[in-house]
């Protein structure tokens, strides 16, 4: 009789634990795919950030050229009268 009580006290929690863990284990492949997709998106976002920084630097260079050009035009107009 004592053996049945011990088995019930030990086995029932183990069965309950297995039933609780089963849904989590069945979702692991989907979670893994989601994690890989998120890592891919993070890499794409990093590449886009680098491209945006490059474009920003290029725009600043073009702005400097535009400022220089407008200063030269103003100087030419001032010399003409």
**Looking at residue 21, what is its pLDDT?**
92
pLDDT in tens, 1-14: 888 888 888 889 99
**Looking at residue 55, what is its pLDDT?**
98
Task: Answer whether 0.85 is exceeded by the pTM.
Answer: no
Question: Which residue in 24, 5, 3, 7 sits closest to 15, CA to CA?
Answer: 7
CA distances 78 to 50, 62, 64, 68, 72, Å, are 42, 24, 21, 15, 10
pLDDT in tens, 66-76: 999 999 999 99
Q: Is 53 exposed, middle or buried (0-12, 13-18, 19+ CB in 10 A)?
A: exposed
User: Across all residues in the chain, what is the average pLDDT?
Assistant: 93
Average pLDDT over residues 26-44: 95
């Amino acid at each position: 009789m004592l053996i049945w009580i011990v088995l019930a006290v030990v086995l029932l929690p183990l069965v309950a634990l297995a039933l609780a863990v089963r849904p989590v284990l069945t979702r692991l492949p989907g979670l893994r795919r989601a994690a890989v997709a998120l890592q891919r998106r993070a890499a794409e976002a990093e590449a886009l950030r680098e491209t945006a920084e490059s474009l920003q630097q290029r725009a600043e260079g073009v702005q400097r050229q535009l400022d220089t050009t407008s200063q030269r035009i103003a100087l030419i107009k001032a010399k003409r009268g």
